[in-house]
Amino acid sequence: MKKLVMITVALSLTACQAIKLSPGARLVKLTHNEPGKECQFLGDITGNQGDFFTGGFTSNKDLETGARNDLKNKAYAMGGNTIYILTQRAGQTGSYDHEYGGGSSQTNVTLSGNVYKCPTQQAYMKNT
């Protein structure tokens, strides 16, 4: 029983951290400017971090970083090096208690974008 409790606590704590960035994904650039014709469109992706349970225990910074890392990891897996950000959303979860009132907190962040494979020099220049 003690082992089960320890494993549950350990898993719960790791759920409160940002999704880790895979080594190659650190080279993927994000941009709000649509890449030029020299870049090849590979597809669209969605990255997110958090849910109604773990999001309440995860800092807003880690929710945002985790969603961004999730997006970059997916783009890298597709062979992309540039993500044109289309949408950014933060989800709120609320609760109400008749004694303490109500409130809400940010519990998830979702980003969506288009993945491109750009010439390396171009990918860097578009995002600086």
**How many whole angstroms separate alpha carbon 5 and alpha carbon 20?**
25
Ranking 68-72, 107-111, 121-125 by mean pLDDT, the lowest is 121-125
| Domains of the chain, each with CATH number or no CATH | 2-126 (3.30.110.70)
- Residue 64 pLDDT more than 70? yes
What pLDDT band is residue 67 in, cutting at 50, 70 and 90?
confident
State pLDDT tens for residues 24-44. Answer: 999 999 999 999 999 999 999
Give the C-alpha distances (Å, rounded to integers) separating 9 from 2, 12, 55, 107.
Answer: 11, 5, 16, 19
- Residue 46 pLDDT more than 60? yes
State pLDDT tens for residues 1-18. Answer: 666 545 544 444 445 677
- Residue 94 pLDDT more than 70? no
Position 1 scores a pLDDT of 62
Buried b (16+ CB within 10 A) or exposed e, 51-72: eeebbbebeeebbbbbbbbbbb
Position 5 scores a pLDDT of 46
> What's the chain's average pLDDT?
75
Position 75 scores a pLDDT of 97
